[in-house]
Amino acid sequence: MRVARRIARELGGSPVRVAGGKKLLYHAAAAMAAGHILAVEEAATQLLVSLGMKRREAMRALLPLTRQVLDNFETLGPRTGWTGPLSRGDFKVVHAHLQALRDSPQEFMPMRR
């Protein structure tokens, strides 16, 4: 165990101890964090491409914002790490964003009940 922790640290990881019955939940959380960030980033990239931006240009526009919000999450926490209209409580802008998404492919629309 000591060697495994040292190897993880040397590779830049943060070793944690997880009870045997909870390892699947641990893995699910990691897959959710990584996979959902990528899915949302790709969706946003596709939206910008649909406006006529080149894919690389869209990624260059979005990645700094994504990195900043993740840095904010790490340093400030989930409540104060928000940026944009949510950080200001500007729900009119959030509503306007949802309206703008109506003309986008269905996979970008929030699920309706």
Cβ–Cβ < 8 Å for 37, 66: yes
Per-residue model confidence as pLDDT tens digits over 6-64: 998 999 888 888 888 899 999 999 999 999 999 999 999 999 998 999 999 999 999 99
Instruction: Spell out the domain ranges in the chain.
Output: 19-108
Give the helix ranges, DSSP H, for the chain: 2-10, 23-50, 55-76, 84-88, 91-101
Inform me whether the pLDDT recorded for 111 exceeds 60: no
Report pLDDT for 112. 52
Q: 72-90 as b/e, with b when 16 or more CB fall inside 10 Å?
A: beeeeeeeebeeeeeeeee
